[in-house]
Amino acid sequence: MKTSTRKFTRKSKFLAITAMTFALSMNNFAISGAWAKDSNIAVVDVQKVVESSPEINALKIDGKNKLDDLASFAEKARADVAKETNATNKKTLEDGYNKELNVRKVALDQEYTKKLLDIDKNITSIIKTKAKASGYNLVLVKSSVLDGGTDITADIIKELK
């Protein structure tokens, strides 16, 4: 047990030293500004872009409507099951409704996920197209940048509408 603990400690120390060395070298690289001489960097506030997307807003409304429909179906199913007096028929009816509810829920989740992925691809495509057309060779998420870069968020939002 001591041997494995000692090995783990040595590995941990080695990894920590390696990480610190890498961080210090990256810090020196960033401070030197060597990377920035030939770089044209843009930043995008992705959260703001997503919140401003008409497609996302439409998806939210559509999703709410479909969830309301699903809730109505579940309520109707509960009422139908409650009306049934025969225990065997009640169990069969309940199982059938549960199966149908699960099928509808899975279909709804799959449809929502597909639409969300399509919207994400569209937004990413717009960002890439705008960056290339404007001569940017690097686009970063604004929330991960402390300072610098040209903010192209407003341009992306205009493209979405």
One domain, residues 101 and 141: yes
Stretch among 30-39, 52-61, 113-122 having the lowest mean pLDDT = 30-39
One domain, residues 75 and 121: yes
| Residue 76, domain extent | 39-160
One domain, residues 79 and 120: yes
Cα–Cα distance measured from residue 147 to residue 128, given in angstroms and rounded to the nearest whole number: 21
CATH number, residue 130: 3.30.910.20
One domain, residues 96 and 129: yes
DSSP 8-state secondary structure symbol assigned to residue 53? -
Q: CA of 20: how far to CAs of 14, 37, 118, 151, in Å?
A: 10, 26, 40, 31
Question: To the nearest whole number, what is the mean pLDDT of the chain?
Answer: 82
Burial (CB count <10 Å: 0-12, 13-18, 19+), residue 28: exposed
Region 15-20 average pLDDT: 54
Residue 144: its pLDDT value, please?
A: 87
pLDDT grade for 36, boundaries at 50, 70 and 90:
low
Query: pLDDT tens for residues 53-95?
Result: 999 999 999 999 999 999 999 999 999 999 989 999 999 999 9
Q: What is the pTM of this model?
A: 0.66
One domain, residues 46 and 7: no
Cα–Cα distance measured from residue 103 to residue 142, given in angstroms and rounded to the nearest whole number: 40
